Structure 1
């Protein structure tokens, strides 16, 4: 009898469960709708259309970059105009970064970075608003390299990439100004414009007229102390107590080394860099001449130091640096014509960067840079300039927009000085160049 009662209870519970399930299942089906699968397939198709595709499942792929365009009003004392172009400080670009874990310590990967020029603002002059022939509306391979990385032993990079002293003076800056007006910023915006004397004449007149970049020295963006991107083998050490070392070698022949520091103490953040480099490659590192007419007996050295400090509570910061380039040749005939072998630059930038409004950080700054430039001799020994003294000063402001990962900026820049043309015994005073630079950099 007890067994019959238990069976009866069990049967009753089973019937109740089936009835509840019967009611619930149609309700759930009704909620989903008859076209649930079609909607799901459509959503998957949308995601596939907007997703970067990979060649394999072992290597991650990150696509990133930015668009950085500016409007520049300029006045050289005799002529004035307004141009639109791509920023010469942080060129528009897109980047593919792939990386795969080998084990808990090691990983391998690659970098492909392509630069994009609309109007090339580093090549514009009084006659060419989009840049000189061959430079506007073009692509350039900025980086193409692979790497092996270890948390214990550091990172090895092979291919076209940054040398150890690439942006030695620039990358110490961690404020918004790094996006549009770093150490290389002052000459970047005017180096291709023709020089004028106080009377408004080009120097000298005719097809051989000099540009600001001819008077300035420094083989990378007219800034002594900085190197560029080259085909190199580079090693970066792990970081110890805020310090790490980078060194690189490549081309025929270039080598350099840098000591890098990043740290905090109390209410202050600090960054500092120091580096040295040497090159005998007149093609990829034209300390004089140009990449198309190099001195194959080149003997060029450069070094620089830079530092940055910011008081975190107030946002006040100071950023400064010094760079030097020694230009020589193992060809006695050319070396004798490089009358002023040393070129130097120093700069100081100060300001305040703080988040006063919900949009993001606001930056207000001022900068002064002074260049004592050495001789500019072509690869065949023709003397363009014996030396020059160029002064830059600027004031500006920037606003970061966090929600759009972008930075708006506005800068006023003034440049003047003097240049000694050829073997002249006296310097020619230059007509000042004034520029107002406004633009936006938006990351993706």
Structure 2
């Protein structure tokens, strides 16, 4: 599969309508922030209402999960009641012509067989890969273990109900179940699409759940007495924004549901796209301490270099907070559709009006500003050159990810091709980068 040539799509004067309204992410953000504030002041709430229990902040993993659930519920409610996403043709659902109950139970049974087999194989993968049973991963395994039986039970009425209104009930799960049952009408192509989508969901959902509790606890327990220290305050705000990113992003991986129009329409079919993404995440991550792309060996954090200069500390910290805010904003803009390596609709609101890849751009600028690789603590020129070159390689990895994602989306949707062309001509950051590349002699946007 090859992506259509970008130049074949003329640049429109306005971006196409976004498949996700700005309100979805904002309502999830508002609920999450209110929940964090309540957890931080839980001791005061208990004291005022004279409730039983410890008078301390709610900073445990279950409080973090509760925030996840509350923001998910708020975004689901907005999507259904305000945006009416369940009535869009892109869901593949025809609510006006439901089939009789039980008319196609045998088809649903095959689908359930394929779905449960998929979950079983993913569970086997978790069991074989021992990193899932240590460190923060263990929390994700415990959560999934508790939810496994309830999800299996709920999947029965859900599939029977949804199959009544699906225009095409024979999806990837059905074809996988049919293939396992030895039926000749199973479509291998549909099975590959099904498994690419579930590989993304299985890998990233476990990772996201594993990092939910840590950042949440740090944000809730922050001692506000440190707020006069610009570095401490900036780092807390950065942690808060990363919590927003993780919480909203995890909701996206969990709620891949057709009635929300948030199903995975396709997962990246390109091997280099998967390689570019996986090297950025554990256990395959190359950027961790001691890894091949560790750009902080012998380095120092930003606050160490400018300690003793309060005005510079406040200004530098503010820049880093703003970059992290842009990164979190890019996730919030997805609402319930955030996911790596997938196509789940086109986002043209928020930071995506400035650049096609706001998260990658903000994240990389943050790393350059926070680590200052050209200024190692050792003072050695060799360390400066090495760290700078390695961080440049990390940025190149993210450029590689961006290009493979564009290739996937350009091949999938004419609407994305329209957005891609508009952004190249009108999005300020993308247009500026293109101008610089052309000045350097490169052909931008291809």
Question: Comparing both structures, which one devotes a greater share of its residues to helix?
Answer: 2
Question: Comparing both structures, which one devotes a greater share of its residues to strand?
Answer: 1
The structure with higher relative contact order (CA 8 Å, sep 6+) is 2
Fold in common (TM above 0.5)? no
Larger radius of gyration: 1
TM-score in terms of structure 1 length: 0.26
